[in-house]
Structure 1
Amino acid sequence: MPITRTSQTRDRLSILRPEAGAGGDPESGAETLASAVRRGLTHEPKWLPCRFLYDATGSELFEQICEQPEYYPTRTEDAILRDQAGEMVAGWDEAPVMIELGSGSSTKTRRLIEAALDAYDRLHYVPVDVSETILEESARSLVDDYPALNVTGIVSDYHTALRAVRRRFPGPKLVVFLGSSLGNFDDEDAVALLRHLSEALGPEDRLLIGLDQVKDAATLEAAYDDAAGVTARFSKNILTRINRELDADFDPDRFAYQARFVPERHRVEMRLISDREQDVAIPGAGLRVRFAAGESIHVENSHKYTPGLLRDLASRSGFVEEGSWSDPDRYFRVQRWRPRV
């Protein structure tokens, strides 16, 4: 589809900032950084929620990770979308509202947007992301590039956004969850999020979800520990964020980055490892944390799946697989699921 630039975008672009639920429930996404730091760094072993990796700097670094030669998920998923987007968006009499969880720069999503515009002429796209900066930049670019596209961005965590979407957008919906983002969730949390989503969708709605597949450890570990060190900087950025927002005195250079595939858990685990005994003051969380040499902070997981694991995940979450697409090497898989009625 040819791209036509236009400056008349105001009426086709809006940004919503819904309020999170009260109470600071960690599972709602409303937990503050300070309470998450207190909860995670007083636990044994120490850990931090990966959603706090994605401040403005973290989101920019993640976009750089996606461009690294070792990081196959982005280019593999993009190739699948390039070849199969038409099938993925087909099946409605009118254009569904396309809602994307964790939209980032929306680069790959352009494949789906273009396919939907070809099929339905007009489209309403609703990107959801915690980074307001990257969401606004990508939304403005999209409405400039596609005159038949309306964009309503939602600056929010997933749970809050789903409540807003349920109230605000009637008619058929296609929820898009790309980049194997679900892989960052532990199994029970993934099921809880997907069940919440399935309960929010009607019979005519669909979920399009991209998930990485189990493969050899060398390929997986290289993808999450690139030679240029971008993923290491991305993970250490959480310490810089804690310094900035909670007046802490972490020295990121005193922590080494490690990514290891754990076959029995079907996941890559990312950690920051203290290279010496050290004490870190975190006044904004009311903490002083002692680290032994070699002690780690678990900062992120990336779960990998097999077709059998995916069938089980769909069933436990209230979905039924309607279609799937993969690359020739079976590295990555995109599924379209419908709510189980």
Structure 2
Amino acid sequence: MTEPELDVHSEPGALAEALRTDVRSGFSATQKWLPAKWFYDARGSELFEEITALPEYYPTRAERETLAREAAEIARVTGARTLVELGSGSSEKTRLLLDGLRAHGTLQTFVPLDVSASALADAVAAIRADYPGLEVRGVVGDFTEHLGLLPGEPPRIVAFLGGTIGNLLPADRLKFLRSVRDVLTEGEWLLLGTDLVKDPETLVRAYDDAAGVTAQFDLNMLRVVNELLGADFDLDRFTHESYWDAANEWIEMRLRAREDVTVRIPGAGMTVHFAEGEYIRTEISAKFRAAGVAAELAESGFAVQRWWTDAQNRFGVSLAEAVRDEMIE
């Protein structure tokens, strides 16, 4: 089967250059870090799909429950001609939205955006096969950089699901939400998935499963650095852990050095030393409260028109309309 044509908004070598920049910044910091987007090469995307099926990882099931129940209402309220999904991955949950919008009779175009070309190509091929007549425009890009290049006719609904918004620090969340608002016209829509604050034990287990799949996913980031920048990380010398930061109300995923480790990273022009017990923060996953979600969206130029959760109140889905700033009270 011929691979689907994708809109690629990055120059050759841009991925390695972006990683080089993040590695130099993150590994030079007092507390070492890398952004969560570097989990998602083809192998990382496969591992995340495995994570979503784990018994400990409730967010995917909770969000799917809500989307299945409310897809028809989302279609009725928005009347969207274009569905844009940011960080689409396999687009499995989005099929619920596609079904609702097509049944409503308005949907013309689906635009999935993802940083992983291989994962996106698979998703686009599957959607095209299962939804004949639907225009599918896969876009390879970074949702923090390429929003203004997205195709599709209004009214559009931008779906940012899975709680991925929680991977951004508060200032970066505001910047991102404002960038989404900037590319939408008044009356268009944002569908946002947000994991909710709950007991720490449930949260920690969701990011440190008994089968060790999340550990493989976390360690895959080091393999990505090895592959793209020629580093010599020995994955066996780091261990995965998750930590609940109660003050910030977020989970941190970390890779902690089991012993003193020196790593050469030729592609970044660096040699980095990790003392025994030192860790790299590889992800934050903020957890939210309904009032806080509404406040952040309002500050960004959106008004929440619908708020839903699953039956156990574990995960929130908000449907927010792009409005003029003066319309937000």
- Normalising by structure 2, we get a TM-score of 0.93
Q: Which residue of 2 aligns with 1:186?
A: 169
Q: Which residue of 2 aligns with 1:41?
A: 27
> What is the CA–CA distance in structure 1 between the aligned matches of 2:17 and 2:100, rounded to whole Å?
38
> What is the CA–CA distance in structure 2 between the aligned matches of 1:278 and 1:112, rounded to whole Å?
47
Candidates 196, 212, 215, aligned match of 1:229? 212
> What is the CA–CA distance in structure 1 between the aligned matches of 2:10 and 2:245, rounded to whole Å?
37
- On the 8 A contact 2:128/2:134 being kept in 1, the answer is yes
Q: Which residue of 1 aligns with 2:98?
A: 113
Q: Which residue of 2 aligns with 1:251?
A: 234
> What is the CA–CA distance in structure 2 between the aligned matches of 1:161 and 1:112, rounded to whole Å?
23
* Deviation string, structure 1 residues 232-268 (Cα, Å, up to 9, x no partner): 1111111111112222111111111110111110100
Structure 1 residue 92: Cα displacement: 4.9
Could you say what secondary structure the match of 1:46 adopts?
coil
> What is the CA–CA distance in structure 1 between the aligned matches of 2:44 and 2:147, rounded to whole Å?
23
Could you say what secondary structure the match of 2:77 adopts?
coil
- On the 8 A contact 1:19/1:160 being kept in 2, the answer is no
Q: Does 1:149 align with 2:134?
A: yes
> What is the CA–CA distance in structure 1 between the aligned matches of 2:60 and 2:103, rounded to whole Å?
24
Q: Aligned runs of 1:79-94 on 2, under 5 Å?
A: 79-92=65-78
Identity of aligned residues (%): 39
> What is the CA–CA distance in structure 2 between the aligned matches of 1:309 and 1:171, rounded to whole Å?
28
Note closer, same or farther for the CA distance 1:122–1:207 as it changes in structure 2 (3 Å cut). closer
Structure 1 residue 278: Cα displacement: 1.8
Candidates 110, 113, 126, aligned match of 1:125? 110
Candidates 158, 163, 167, aligned match of 2:143? 158
* Deviation string, structure 1 residues 134-158 (Cα, Å, up to 9, x no partner): 1111111111111232100001001
- On the 8 A contact 1:18/1:154 being kept in 2, the answer is yes
> What is the CA–CA distance in structure 1 between the aligned matches of 2:78 and 2:251, rounded to whole Å?
38
> What is the CA–CA distance in structure 1 between the aligned matches of 2:9 and 2:90, rounded to whole Å?
20
Residue identity opposite 1:16 in structure 2 = D
Q: Does 1:100 align with 2:100?
A: no
Candidates 51, 74, 86, aligned match of 2:60? 74
- On the 8 A contact 1:154/1:161 being kept in 2, the answer is no
Structure 1 residue 161: Cα displacement: 3.0
> What is the CA–CA distance in structure 2 between the aligned matches of 1:133 and 1:253, rounded to whole Å?
27
> What is the CA–CA distance in structure 2 between the aligned matches of 1:209 and 1:273, rounded to whole Å?
32
- On the 8 A contact 2:195/2:315 being kept in 1, the answer is yes
Residue identity opposite 1:219 in structure 2 = T
Deviation above 4 Å: which 4+ runs of structure 1?
none
> What is the CA–CA distance in structure 2 between the aligned matches of 1:323 and 1:150, rounded to whole Å?
28
Residue identity opposite 2:322 in structure 1 = P
Note closer, same or farther for the CA distance 1:278–1:14 as it changes in structure 2 (3 Å cut). closer
Query: Which runs of 5 or more structure 1 residues have no equivalent in the other structure?
Result: 1-6
* Aligned positions, number: 322
- Normalising by structure 1, we get a TM-score of 0.90
Structure 1 residue 73: Cα displacement: 0.3
Q: Does 1:275 align with 2:258?
A: yes
